[in-house]
């Protein structure tokens, strides 16, 4: 590119950017239909904006997000199964390495934390990890949904809804419970039930972490003046970090508790010890 | 049914249904085939590794056996050499002994032969001298007879 052409390109680029910036500031956004208080309240409670689920019932937008994420993941999985897996080689290519690393990471996480009966756990933490990670990154796409009141809203991350987080936490707890039953039978159930606060803590940890990110993003996006450059940092980086951290935290917790409750407890030799003492 | 924080059991169940669908789909379509491929590859490498280890073990056993055999051979060779050396020495001694005996016999025979030859020569000389003496006497006699006849 010659010097003259480069100068022209930079000039046009700066002019365009300046035109968009000035026009957006002059024109301003549409007058907000809801106050920031209402926006924040809706972000936490999801009680204002509802979306119709195939006309069957009105649900929170996060439910639609959850099904959309599932659809995306399943479509991706179908494509991988049909086009990529049959072409797998002993010496893997880049995409194969990526898939094997993902599967291997969660498989090793399960094996490392739960030496007994870890195949099912490996599959579960893989799916949960994929769901949390992609579900959290999903909000970056900014897909729009139409509410029952006819407004357009950006679909949030599925786990930023308390119901989605509770579902994830309870499902993880049920998986841990199944590990306890498989490993130790009735004792496993008891040891799992001892950790009765686990589903609550898991659910609210997820919800709190994702909600905090959502609230900060909502705050930033609420004001037009903050919508330049800052969203790149706040939106993308916070979301990406949340996705990775929450994926790791929930899968790690599930694997650790699963390993604890499925580990076979050695039989106590109290009676024998007492007998020996008497004999002595 | 609505609870604080807008918790809704119906929606929780909808989320769980979604998770269930996702789990089944991702497990069957992605996790299982990739894991199976990885396990198969690991098993293949393990079998190759095991075979190599087995071959190495066999080679080591063969090497140990060969070393033992070599050691046995060396010991046997040393023993054979010692035995051969002893046999050779014994044989050499017997040969030397035989040679000495032969030498003595030859020497004795030669001495006998020389003595016999000497005696024979002396006898022959005596006979010749006697013959010569007789012939000389006869000649003297004959000359004396001639002289006397004259």
**pLDDT tens digits, A9-64:** 888 888 877 776 676 556 554 555 567 677 777 767 666 788 888 888 888 889 99
Which residues on neighbouring strands pair with residue B8, listed in sequence order? B2
CA of A80, closest CA in chain B: separation in Å? 7
Q: Does B90 touch chain A (CB under 8 A)?
A: no
B38-89 pLDDT per residue, tens? 999 999 999 999 999 999 999 999 999 999 999 999 999 999 999 999 999 9
User: Is A99 in Cβ contact with B15 (below 8 Å)?
Assistant: no
| Cβ distance of B18 and A70 shorter than 8 Å | yes
Disruptive mutation site among B14, B43, B45 for chain A (greatest number of A CBs within 10 Å): B14
Q: What pLDDT, on a 0 to 100 scale, did the predictor assign at position A5?
A: 84
Q: List pLDDT tens digits, range A112-154.
A: 988 877 888 999 999 999 999 999 899 888 888 888 888 888 8
The rounded distance, in Å, linking the Cα atoms of A34 and A40 is 10
Task: Name which of B3, B9, B11 to mutate to probe chain A: the one with the most chain A Cβ atoms within 10 A of its Cβ.
Answer: B11
Return the residue matching tokens 């990154």: A137
Tokens representing B40 are 């198969």
B42 Cβ under 8 Å from any chain A Cβ: no
Task: Give me the residue from A122, A127, A162 closest to B5, CB to CB.
Answer: A162
DSSP chain A: --HHHHHHHHHHHHHHHHHHHHHHHHH-PPPPSS-HHHHHHHHHH--S--EEETTTEEE-HHHHHHHHHHHHHHHHHHHIIIIIGGG--SS--HHHHHHHHHHHHHHHHHHHH--SS-HHHHHHHHHHHHHHHHHHHGGGG--EEE-TTS-EEE---GGGSHHHHHHHHHHHHHHHHHHHHHHHTHHHHHHHHHTTTHHHHHHHHHHHHHHHHHHHHHHHHHSGGG-SSHHIIIIIIHHHHHHHHHHHHHHHHHHHHHHHHHSPPPPP-HHHHHHHHHH-
Asked casually if ipTM beats, i.e. exceeds, 0.90, the reply is no
Please count the other Cβ atoms lying within 10 Å of the Cβ belonging to residue A80: 17
Out of A81, A162, A164, the one facing B30 most closely (by C-beta) is A81
First-to-last alpha carbon distance for chain B, in angstroms, is 203
| Dihedral sign of CA atoms B1, B7, B11, B17 in order | negative
Of A197 and B117, the structure prediction assigns the larger pLDDT to: B117
Q: Are strands A144-146 and A57-59 parallel, antiparallel or unpaired?
A: unpaired
Taking an 8 Å cut-off on Cβ atoms, the answer to whether A60 and B25 are in contact is no
Q: What is the mean pLDDT of chain B?
A: 91
Q: Name the strand (E) or helix (H) holding A177.
A: helix A162-184
State the pLDDT at residue A69.
95
Indicate the residue of A47, A80, A168 with minimum beta-carbon distance to B30.
Answer: A80
**Chain B partners within 8 Å of A45 (Cβ):** 5-6
């Amino acid at each position: 590119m010659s010097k003259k052409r480069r100068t022209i390109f930079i000039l046009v680029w700066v002019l365009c950017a300046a035109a968009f910036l000035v026009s957006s500031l002059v024109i301003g956004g549409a007058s907000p239909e809801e106050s920031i208080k209402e926006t924040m309240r809706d972000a936490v409670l999801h009680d204002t904006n509802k979306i119709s689920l195939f006309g069957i019932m009105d649900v929170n937008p996060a439910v639609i997000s959850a099904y959309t994420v599932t659809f995306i993941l399943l479509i991706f999985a179908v494509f991988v199964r049909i086009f990529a897996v049959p072409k797998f080689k002993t010496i893997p290519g880049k995409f194969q390495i990526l898939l094997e690393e993902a599967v291997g990471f969660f498989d090793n996480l399960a094996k490392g934390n739960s030496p007994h009966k870890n195949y099912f756990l490996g599959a579960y933490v893989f799916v949960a990890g994929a769901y949390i990670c992609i579900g959290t990154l999903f909000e970056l796409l900014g897909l729009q949904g139409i509410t029952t009141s006819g407004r357009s809203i950006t679909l949030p991350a599925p786990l930023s809804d308390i119901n989605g987080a509770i579902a994830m936490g309870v499902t993880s707890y049920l998986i841990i419970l199944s590990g306890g039953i498989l490993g130790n039978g009735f004792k496993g159930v008891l040891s799992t039930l001892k950790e009765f606060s686990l589903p609550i803590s898991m659910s609210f940890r997820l919800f709190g972490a994702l909600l905090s990110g959502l609230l900060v993003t909502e705050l930033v996006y609420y004001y037009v003046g903050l919508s330049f450059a800052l969203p790149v940092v706040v939106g993308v980086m916070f979301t990406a970090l949340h996705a990775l951290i929450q994926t790791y935290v929930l899968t790690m917790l599930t694997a650790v508790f699963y390993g604890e409750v499925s580990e076979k407890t050695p039989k106590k030799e109290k009676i024998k010890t007492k007998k020996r003492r008497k004999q002595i | 049914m609505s609870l604080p924080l807008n918790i809704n059991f119906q929606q929780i169940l909808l989320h769980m249904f979604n998770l269930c669908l996702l789990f089944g789909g991702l497990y069957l379509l992605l996790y299982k085939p990739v894991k199976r491929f990885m396990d198969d590859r690991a098993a293949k490498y393990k079998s190759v590794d095991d075979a190599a280890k087995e071959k190495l073990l066999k080679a080591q056993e063969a090497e140990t056996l060969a070393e033992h055999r070599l050691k046995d051979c060396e010991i046997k060779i040393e023993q054979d050499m010692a035995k051969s050396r002893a046999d050779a020495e014994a044989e050499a001694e017997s040969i030397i002994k035989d040679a000495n005996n032969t030498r003595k016999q030859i020497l004795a025979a030669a001495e006998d032969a020389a003595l016999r030859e000497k005696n024979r020569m002396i006898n022959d000389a005596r006979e010749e001298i006697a013959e010569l003496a007789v012939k000389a006497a006869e000649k003297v006699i004959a000359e004396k007879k001639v002289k006397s006849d004259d």
